[in-house]
Structure 1
Amino acid sequence: MGQVVRPTYRAFIVHAKADDALARALQRGLEDILVPWALIGRDTPQGPVPKTLRPLFRLLAPAPAVMPERTVPERTAPAADAPAVAGEPPAAPIPAAGESPAAAETPAPPASPTESSTDSPAPETVAAAPPDAPILLAPAAPVLSDEAVAALVEARHLIVLCSPDAATSEVVDEAVRRFKSLGRGDRVVAVLAGGDPEASERTLCPPALARRLRPDGSVGDEPEEPVAPVVIDARSGRTPPSEVVMRIAATLLGLGVDEFRGPAERAVRNRRRLRGWLGAAAAILLVVGGGVAVVRFALPAHPPLFDAVLGGATEATLASLTAAERLGLPPAAAIAIAEPAGAMLHDLAMAGGDDPRLRLRRAAILLAFAQHRETLGLADGGRARVAAVETLLDPLSGERLDDLELVRTLVGLRLAVATTRLAHGETDRALASARAALAGAERLAALDPSSPDRQRDLSRAATAMGDVLVARAALDDALRHYRAALAVRDKLAALDPASASARRDLSVAHERIGDVAAARGALDDALKSYRAGLSLRLAAVDPAAGAGWQRSLSILYNKIGDAQMAQGAVEDALGSYRAGLALQLAVVDRADAQARRDLSVSYERIGDVLKAQRAYDDALAAYRASLAIRERLAAGDPPLRRWPRDLPVSQERIGDVLMAKGAAEEALAAYRTSLAARVRIATEAPSPAAQRDVAVAQSKIGDALAAKGQGAEALASYRAALAVSQQLALLDPTNVQWQWELAVLHWRLASAGDEPAERYRAVVVTLRDLAARRKLSPEQSRWLPLAERELAKARGR
């Protein structure tokens, strides 16, 4: 089965004001549906059955007014010798970034960087009409907002509530016309919502639904037979609301009504039993609370036993939560249970006083529940807990603990803190924890060099140090620590060749060394290390390792694909990415936000390859599959605040493919959605990287506007991008990427006639500087002589 389109919205609902009550009821009914577990993942023409029909987009059309008769001129292509719009220079062909300069006689700027509240669409230039032409009144504002257009592009189905008011609504008609023009006429559901029960359904439908579209996207005269693939008559109670919801839900899932009805009704009964189980669990918690009171007074005098009881209670609580999440417990409910449970266990550990063993236990409890929040995609509350863990551990770091097992526990907690801090981008704090862990691991290993456990802890600490140093761009130091870890793990694997865990550890060491080689651009060395790691990991198959093993293997396949893609081995890269995707799909249903996010990355990588192969429809399908996962993560309950950059990246990639397909208007909507997110991120968490993302989004909007012929608006977007890029270039003149992007923007403006002499001079100065520092790639170097030629022509005018 090929790649399946999974857009952001499962459905776009459009209706007139008179049908608002029914539309709201349908939306609530569809959003409240929990798809039965027996159906989730089943392959259908719509792709694998999801867990939920969310999110939906609903558009309320304004109060109906009679649609005036409109004269629509035939769309004709402009004559080849048609003059350019007054005040704008003729456009020059724009070669791709990798195109040879000889391919374009008149050079234009290199391609925009590949790596955005939505701006109102810019007004279009209107040519003067001949005296005998009919007078057409231009609308004061677009019929659909940019947000609505973007949602239509990202919707799998269209649900139209048909009634006398809807039939005369320009907004409803335009939404239907746009959706059908995207080639999705087979995904329309018509709900007859009002009017005479005996009236023909066509009298309730807007023109775009009742009639076929012409090839140019306008509404023709030929009737559509039938008006929609699925028509549901809800007039005068002919179909009960619950049945309407059931039929629409089955259609959105790609299932037959009867096929969906039976499992859905069983799921309702199961949820009732689950509510009863939760009530029983609440009663059990009351009993446990009484037991906690007993433990609080009976065990603190016996620290080892008290510690064991607390450790077992923590593991049992989190294991129960994980099991409940896999059975469909919503994240909000999981948090509602986990928060008081964690607080109760921590307070109980406080009863043990300041005994080092129980101090470490309190830290372990805090860290375990912080990591639980991380698996749900909630990084905000976890930071406070990690800081509290550090407060508990710091006084112990300077002590010479007599119990070496406590030292080992301390090392493990320090490593977990380092990993969590690094995931949050806090490299300074991560480095401090990693160093403390390494010092403790070295001490333990020196006291007993023959202990495999202590040697393994030493290799883990060295790996953690390398990870932090890579994040800080200290590649030489990172490689030294990775090689130290590799040496230790090589010895451990030789001591126990049958150990699957030893082979997995050795695989990770090779993978990390490959990461350093890839960061240095040594792709052959990177592939050699990655493949060594892959062979070891495949030989260490351990079903007991579960989802974690499969995810780690899929990530390694992605890294191999990245290196192959950078070498130009596109087909090989596609095979690697698909191998990783297959592994992730096997565990995607687990209640782990990180696993779902990893799945979205695999779809994105596949989309990159397909785009490079010019398989634009397949690339668009892959990107939309990635975006759908990220939208569900962001729209979770409670909302997931990690990975904020993922959504705009997906929107931009979708926009890039739409541009390549010639759909500039849809691409513009995607770019503007991306810009809104970029601006919000840059406002909430200012950083040079966030500002650079804003500049990229503005530049892409400029490209789309230029493709639509809106030259003045394109110039405005390029200038906005240039202003940000100039600030970044001044902030770090050594950043080659920022300098190149600044030159690209100057070139785009110059080619559009905006101060060409001054801008080409800026391009030449920048490229000469980069060339002198040997920072230009072979392809980039070819643009310098072209820039010099354009500068000479501009000065000669």
Structure 2
Amino acid sequence: MANTRRYRAFISYSHADKAVAEWLHRALERYRLPSRLVGQQTGIGPVPARLTPIFRDRDELSAAGHLSDTLRQALADSDFLIVIASVDAAASRWVDEEVRLFKSMHGESRVLALIAAGNPGERDITGFFPPAQRFQVDREGRITDRETEPVAADLRIGADGKRLAKLKLVAGLTGLPLDALVQREAARRQRWLMGIASASLALVAVMAVLTVAAIQGQREAERQRAEADGLVEYMLTDLRQKLEPVGRLDVLDSVGRRALAYYEGQRPASLDADALGRRARALMLVAEVRELNGDGTAALEAYAAAEESTAELLARDPDNPDRMFDHAQSVFYVGQVAWQRRDWDIAEARFRQYAALAERMLATDPSNPKWKLETGYAANSLGALYLDLRRPDDAITQFQRYVAVTDQLAAEAPGDTSALWDSSQARAWLADAFFQSGNSQAAEAERMAELTILTALRAADPRNSSVRMSMARAHDALATNALAQGAVVMAATRARDALVEMQALLDQDPANSLWRDIATSAANTRAEALLLDGQWAEARGVNAWALTNALELTSSDPANRRWTISLLMQARWMEVAILFGERRTVEARAGLARFQSDFGASRSADVERGAATAWLAIHAMEAADRAANNDPAKARAAAAAAGDLVTPVPGTKQQALLELVTAQAAGQTALPAVNPGRYPAHALIQAIRP
């Protein structure tokens, strides 16, 4: 029976996934079925030549007078529903309602899905779908308790990729076998790439002719040079956009290298402004392709060549702020690649140059918000670099500038939530720098200022999960700060607030690994505060929750060393401390041995990444246990084994633990004096002593 419905498919999506929805809409409407397959009879009818039209609700409904009526009619007029699945879609009542309505009209079998985002290692994908997609819907539109198993194409890293995901959806929309489409697409792409190769050879030929033409006549050489520039820019812009969806940036590699050699062979001073601008744009694109291919050395080379062009353009027009901006971007990217490669001197020099250019832009028009923001971005780049270099004082100076810029922009645009958000994040950066410097009071003040802004943002949008997550992070940071000052009761309260917030978010989306990460961190902080306060039973319950979740995260992605260090190792040493505190000495000793067995092989590398405090706590407890067991020699040896745990700029917690193990290594038997306002390291071993 011929299809009489108006739309081939209806795309349902959360606003957060708009870019994916737009890509899918274009990809499906532009897709042409292979001619040999058109007209074939499948289980859902004859195969069409095109999959048009596709209904994308935010576009189609923008001019509608009655949203609900138009929506219902569009759903009724669609053969299929395609849900852009993500954490945001799962929480969207509008996506859920569209799925519910469609299922009540057309049944379960015509709902397709495309996973847009999420943890690449997450195997349980149910957290990406709204309730109406996870459960069957009856004809009256009621969601039943009968579960379904959504099958979805997957855009996440390491999954289908855009090309295969698109073909999977085409197969679902037509009833064709996926392998038939893949084979036809492969043949089509092969013919197309052969055409690209021919075009590439033609480009190389143009460049070769250009070399000869330069000798034959200046005008002709300039004309052909412009043609070559245009070809290069086409290859690296329009053509690149066509290649990216099928994952074949490598096809551009040889052309990119030739283009780079071609441009490097020309002195920037000999080119007019238009040609020089084309050179810079092409080289920036070459650099981006190199970065996408993971070739940092080649990317740096191309960015540096682009920097040379933008520098020449600025030298010709030194008072033009747009020329300053273009050159600032080139300079920034050179610095960014150097930073990623740990070339600290180059990174700092370029970021400082970027900051100077931003100040020059602002001087041309002090009221221009774009130039103001550039000065803030430049300061933030330097600040983040200095944090990595463990130079907290320098980082503080830069982040204070960033805060000043974002606060000013927020004041100039009252009610602009994006400006307020930038201001809150700038204060979070500044708080981290203060904490690294050991200035806990200043860190607390900045976190409180951040919370004030976030509270206002939450009042305006109570369901905003990003704001709620940031508030939980701020509370956890405040709890950590309170611990460093010995305020264990305050720390426990702050950490509880963070944990309650994150557990509420996890109830909405248990599959969200980022939220589970933040919740586990808050649980670790609360457990630590409770055990330092001697509340062993409550600490045990919180620690058990943290340990379960840390194990879940690390088992889902064993390569994620940060989860192991910041979550699992923290939960493990606290588990040992609680066992000692509850006088379960045999189990505690087994925990000490397990910790050293599980994490000992990677100790040196982990310490550089932040594991020093966990290891210091382990050594302190082992030394105290040896001393309690009347074995002073082994006690001193256990403490002395912590000698490799001294790191640059240790925090107050690490410093307190270092002082404790140093005293133990020296054979001191008396507990160190309690120092108000500092991390109470003595509490870790107080329950171990006889």
* Normalised-by-shorter TM-score class: 0.5 to 0.7
Distance 1:517 1:282, change over 3 A: same
- Within the alignment, does 1:274 sit opposite 2:137 as a pair? no
Of 592, 605, 609, the match for 2:477: 605
Distance 1:557 1:774, change over 3 A: closer
Distance 1:558 1:279, change over 3 A: farther
Of 547, 550, 568, the match for 1:672: 547
Aligned ranges 1:282-681 → 2 under 5 Å: 328-329=94-95, 335=116, 353=196, 354=199, 356=232, 357=234, 359-364=236-241, 396-400=259-263, 406-410=278-282, 413=285, 429=295, 432-449=298-315, 450=317, 451-541=320-410, 548-565=418-435, 566-569=438-441, 571-582=444-455, 585=458, 601-609=473-481, 613=487, 614-615=489-490, 616-629=492-505, 632=508, 635=511, 645-646=517-518, 648-657=520-529, 659=531, 660=533, 662=536, 663-681=538-556
1:620, distance to aligned residue in structure 2 (A): 0.6
CA contact (8 A) 1:558 1:577 kept: yes
Partner of 1:788: 666
Of 568, 585, 602, the match for 1:711: 585
Distance 1:743 1:769, change over 3 A: same
CA contact (8 A) 1:411 1:437 kept: yes
CA contact (8 A) 1:564 1:572 kept: no
1:491, distance to aligned residue in structure 2 (A): 0.9
Q: Percent identity?
A: 15
Partner of 1:752: 625
Of 727, 739, 762, the match for 2:601: 727
CA contact (8 A) 1:743 1:767 kept: yes
Distance 1:431 1:630, change over 3 A: farther
1:360, distance to aligned residue in structure 2 (A): 1.8
Give the structure-1-normalised TM-score. 0.48
Distance 1:674 1:474, change over 3 A: farther
- Measured in 2, the distance between the counterparts of 1:511 and 1:694 equals 31
The alignment partner of 1:789 has SS state of coil
- Measured in 2, the distance between the counterparts of 1:328 and 1:396 equals 49
- Measured in 2, the distance between the counterparts of 1:688 and 1:658 equals 24
Distance 1:692 1:617, change over 3 A: closer
CA contact (8 A) 2:495 2:525 kept: no
1:610, distance to aligned residue in structure 2 (A): 6.1
- Post-superposition CA distance 1:474-533 (Å, at most 9, x none): 443322111010111111111122211011001111222223344444444333322222
Runs of 5+ in structure 2 lacking a partner? Answer: 1-11, 16-65, 97-111, 117-152, 156-161, 168-184, 200-230, 265-273, 672-689
Runs of 5+ in structure 1 lacking a partner? Answer: 1-33, 38-268, 286-317, 371-383
CA contact (8 A) 1:415 1:437 kept: yes
1:680, distance to aligned residue in structure 2 (A): 0.5
The alignment partner of 1:400 has SS state of helix
Aligned ranges 1:178-189 → 2 under 5 Å: none
CA contact (8 A) 2:383 2:396 kept: yes
CA contact (8 A) 1:456 1:488 kept: yes
1:398, distance to aligned residue in structure 2 (A): 4.0
In structure 1, give the amino acid aligned to 2:451.
R
The alignment partner of 2:263 has SS state of coil
Distance 1:538 1:696, change over 3 A: closer
- Post-superposition CA distance 1:703-735 (Å, at most 9, x none): 233334433222222221122343223568x84
In structure 1, give the amino acid aligned to 2:425.
I
Give the structure-2-normalised TM-score. 0.54
CA contact (8 A) 1:671 1:697 kept: yes
Partner of 2:47: none
- Post-superposition CA distance 1:196-254 (Å, at most 9, x none): xxxxxxxxxxxxxxxxxxxxxxxxxxxxxxxxxxxxxxxxxxxxxxxxxxxxxxxxxxx
Distance 1:530 1:743, change over 3 A: closer
Partner of 1:207: none
Moved more, 390-399 or 707-716: 390-399
CA contact (8 A) 2:498 2:522 kept: no
Q: How much is the aligned-residue C-alpha RMSD, in angstroms?
A: 5.3
- Measured in 2, the distance between the counterparts of 1:778 and 1:277 equals 65
CA contact (8 A) 2:502 2:519 kept: no
Partner of 1:695: 569
1:558, distance to aligned residue in structure 2 (A): 0.5
Distance 1:648 1:770, change over 3 A: closer
Aligned ranges 1:214-233 → 2 under 5 Å: none
- Post-superposition CA distance 1:321-362 (Å, at most 9, x none): x99998844795574799589969x99997995554155224
1:410, distance to aligned residue in structure 2 (A): 4.0
1:667, distance to aligned residue in structure 2 (A): 1.6
Distance 1:505 1:781, change over 3 A: same
1:673, distance to aligned residue in structure 2 (A): 1.3
- Measured in 2, the distance between the counterparts of 1:788 and 1:775 equals 21
- Measured in 1, the distance between the counterparts of 2:250 and 2:477 equals 35
CA contact (8 A) 2:380 2:402 kept: yes
- Post-superposition CA distance 1:655-703 (Å, at most 9, x none): 33554555133223223213422541563x2658736754333212222
CA contact (8 A) 1:462 1:485 kept: yes
The count of aligned residue pairs is 466
The alignment partner of 2:623 has SS state of helix
In structure 1, give the amino acid aligned to 2:447.
L
CA contact (8 A) 2:314 2:323 kept: yes
Partner of 1:307: none
Distance 1:775 1:518, change over 3 A: closer
- Measured in 2, the distance between the counterparts of 1:350 and 1:396 equals 21
1:771, distance to aligned residue in structure 2 (A): 7.2
- Measured in 1, the distance between the counterparts of 2:166 and 2:478 equals 43
Distance 1:412 1:337, change over 3 A: farther
